[in-house]
């Protein structure tokens, strides 16, 4: 799905959300312009993951609007978000551990018009290592290979917006670099990406815009270079 030039890929307007009676996001405003990469940074517990959960339909906001590609999608189930062109790679390993690599790939064909063999060709071309492992249970692969498999979904999904949550978590720097190479390439192809990352420098290197979030509120939005300067203050508890 490709959006018009002026319609944002994702727009969160005055969003409040949380779990049960605990509110995590207190009025969050965030825009991901079409075809651009936005890095969402902030300390632990700031609400970054919750923001992504709202953007993928896993958490329904208690107030405010969620617009995907200009359409109001509040309250729709996550599978409707997928049909609307959102591809979300959740935190941790976003793979089905007890299914083989092939079965994992098979499931991806739900959201797209591609056939299994087409998906396999695309994924294996990108990550040859997964081809050797295609009959193996996904959960028995190394952490890096599992994350490759998880992130590979972004390659085959016909998405207009990609949500990445800490894809570097627990991985060797070499694998992180490999994954970010893919992210940069997807961005170059015109995909809009919202990414959450602990390694701020890695994220800022690929981002067009950056946002700092603390305590459920977006504190600052701007150019990656400017944001990098404000980061220390945000992490150390100062209000930007």
Partner 1 sequence: MYSITASGLVVTYATSGIFNFAHGALGMLGAFTYWQLTVAWHVPPLAALALVLLVVAPLLGAVVERVLIRRLYGTSLSVTLVVTVGLLLALIGVANLIWSPVTPRVLKPFFPNSLIHLPGVNVSAHQAIVVLVSLLVAVALRVFLARTRTGATMRAVVDDPGLVALTGTSPARASQLSWALGSSLAALAGILLAPLVTLSILTLTLLVINGYAAAVVGRLRSLPLTAVGGLALGLAESYSTGYLGGDLPNLLRPALPMFLLFVAVVFLRDTRLRAGGRIVGWSPRAVGLGESVRWSSLLLVVALLAAALAPGGLVDFLSSTLAIGFVLLSLVLLSGYAGQVSLCQLTFVGVGAYVMAKVAPGGSAFGILVVVPVCALLGVAVAVPVLRLRGLYLALATLAFASGMDTIFFLNAFGTGGAISVPRLSLPGVDSNRGYLILLTLAFAAGAVGLLSLRRSRVGRRMSALNDSPAACVTLGVGVNRTKLGVFAGAAAMSGLGGVLLGGQEGLVSGNDFQMLNSLVLLLILTIGGASTVSGALLGAVLFSAFPIIAEHVSFLSQASLLLTGLGAVSIGRNPYGIVGEASRRFAAARQAGRGALASVVIRPSPLRDGVL
**C-alpha of 202 from chain center:** 15
Could you say whether residue 1 binds partner 1 (CB under 8 A)?
Answer: no
Q: Identify whether the C-beta of residue 84 lies closer than 8 Å to the C-beta of residue 157.
A: no
The tally of CA atoms less than 13 A away on the side-chain side of residue 187 is 23
Please give the structure tokens belonging to residue 172.
């060797």
CB of 212 to partner 1, least distance (A): 21
Choose between 156 and 207: whose C-beta lies nearer to partner 1: 156
CB of 186 to partner 1, least distance (A): 17
Applying the rule CB under 8 A, the residues between 66 and 85 that interact with partner 1 are: 77-79, 82-83
CA distances to 58, 115, 220, 238 from 232, rounded to whole Å, are: 31, 47, 13, 8
Q: Is 42 left (phi over 0), alpha (psi -120 to 50) or beta?
A: left
As a whole number of angstroms, the distance between CA 51 and CA 191 comes to 19
Choose between 85 and 224: whose C-beta lies nearer to partner 1: 85
With CB under 8 A as the contact rule, the residue among 49, 146, 147, 202 that binds partner 1 is 49
Choose between 191 and 231: whose C-beta lies nearer to partner 1: 191
CB of 134 to partner 1, least distance (A): 13
Smallest Cα–Cα separation from 143: which of 171, 177, 123, 167?
171
CB of 29 to partner 1, least distance (A): 21
The number of residues that bind partner 1 (CB under 8 A) is 36
Annotate each residue in 91-130 with x if it binds partner 1 (CB under 8 A) or - if it does not, as one string. x--xxxxxx---xx-xxxxxx----x--------------
Helical segments of 9-127, H only: 48-55, 78-83, 101-108, 116-126
Residues that bind partner 1 (CB under 8 A): 19-22, 49-50, 53, 56-60, 77-79, 82-83, 88, 90-91, 94-99, 103-104, 106-111, 116, 153
């Amino acid at each position: 799905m490709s959006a018009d030039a002026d319609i944002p890929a994702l727009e969160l307007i005055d969003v409040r959300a949380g779990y049960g009676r605990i509110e995590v996001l207190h009025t969050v405003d965030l825009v991901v312009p079409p075809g651009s990469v936005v890095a969402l940074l902030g300390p632990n517990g700031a609400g970054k993951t919750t923001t992504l959960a709202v953007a993928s339909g896993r958490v329904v906001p208690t107030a405010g609007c969620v617009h995907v590609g200009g359409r109001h999608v509040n309250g729709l189930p996550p599978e409707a978000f997928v049909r609307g062109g959102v591809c979300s790679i959740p935190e941790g390993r976003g793979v089905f551990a007890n299914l083989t690599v092939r079965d994992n790939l098979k499931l991806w064909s739900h959201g797209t018009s591609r056939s299994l063999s087409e998906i396999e060709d695309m994924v294996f071309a990108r990550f040859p290592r997964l081809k050797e492992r295609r009959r193996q249970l996904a959960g028995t692969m190394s952490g890096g290979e599992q994350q490759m498999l998880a992130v590979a979904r972004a390659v085959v999904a016909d998405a207009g917006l990609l949500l990445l949550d800490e894809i570097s978590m627990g991985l060797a720097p070499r694998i992180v670099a490999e994954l970010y190479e893919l992210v940069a390439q997807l961005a170059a192809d015109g995909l809009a990406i919202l990414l959450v990352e602990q390694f701020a420098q890695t994220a800022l290197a690929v981002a067009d815009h950056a946002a700092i979030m603390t305590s459920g509120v977006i504190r600052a939005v701007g150019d990656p270079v400017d944001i990098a300067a404000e980061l220390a203050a945000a992490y150390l508890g100062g209000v930007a």
